[in-house]
Amino acid sequence: MTVPIDYTKRPASAAQPPQPTQQSPVSLSKVTLTKSAPTVSLTKQGSAGGTLRVNLNWNARQQEPGRGLFTRKPGAIDLDLGCLYEYTDGSKGVVQALGRLFRDEHTFGPQPICWLDRDDRSGSNSGGENLFVDLGALQHIRRILVFAFIYEGVPSWAAADAVVTLFPLGGPQIEVRLDEHDPQSTMCAIAMLSNADAELSVSREVRYIRGSQKDLDKTYGWGMRWSAGRK
């Protein structure tokens, strides 16, 4: 796995900002992004504000030889949630547990625009992993690519049965299921948040990358330099 090497500052610790105290209202509807309907506008549904929570949940399980039932084995599959970000001033970076980059390095106020809450090493935490995006700083956001990768365990997206759900402050939840699989890939680009022409949209990607974050960067033209990293 790789991390970018063109950072000039790094937090003294992996401590994250306090999680938002505001709670997303209960929504009776949900939008599932599919190949035939891959994009939704947060602006048009009145959800382009507040703090957006992006949740990754999965099952870390393996099938025991000769048995038909699945048995959870902690650590069998360790998925990590992260994002590449690009802001309107041209600054770029990554937020991920790898390299302990739990928050963005380019902020425009007292708190970051993007940050992670935890690193769930087993998939057994019912809350999964959460990425937060401060849409109050929308004027500074150009694009954010949400991704996940298998840090440990046999590459088995099918067994992981992963799903990413976006929880806007208002409006319906937005679900992206990783229901297509490439057994030779450990990296998956899941969704793109794009801010263009005063409209914030979310687009389904579900694009598997055979390689590391460096290859993800190359695929989407982020243009950063990378080096090997670890947790």
pLDDT at 162 over 70: yes
Distance between CA atoms of 54 and 20, rounded to whole angstroms?
Answer: 13
Which pLDDT band holds residue 1 (cuts at 50, 70, 90)? low
CATH class of 29-222: mainly beta
Which pLDDT band holds residue 50 (cuts at 50, 70, 90)? very high
Amino acid 27: pLDDT: 43
Amino acid 13: pLDDT: 40
pTM metric for this prediction: 0.81
Residues 102-112: pLDDT tens digits?
Answer: 999 887 888 89
Distance between CA atoms of 79 and 57, rounded to whole angstroms?
Answer: 9
Amino acid 42: pLDDT: 96
Amino acid 118: pLDDT: 67
CB 62 within 8 A of CB 70: yes
pLDDT at 60 over 70: no
Domain range annotation of the chain: 29-222
pLDDT at 41 over 70: yes
Q: Which of 108, 126, 95, 121 is nearest to 16 (CA)?
A: 95
Q: What is the mean pLDDT of residues 65-69?
A: 39
Following DSSP, what letter does each residue of 138-193 receive, concatenated? GGGEEEEEEEEEEEES---HHHHT-EEEEE-SSS-EEEEE--S--TT-SEEEEEEE
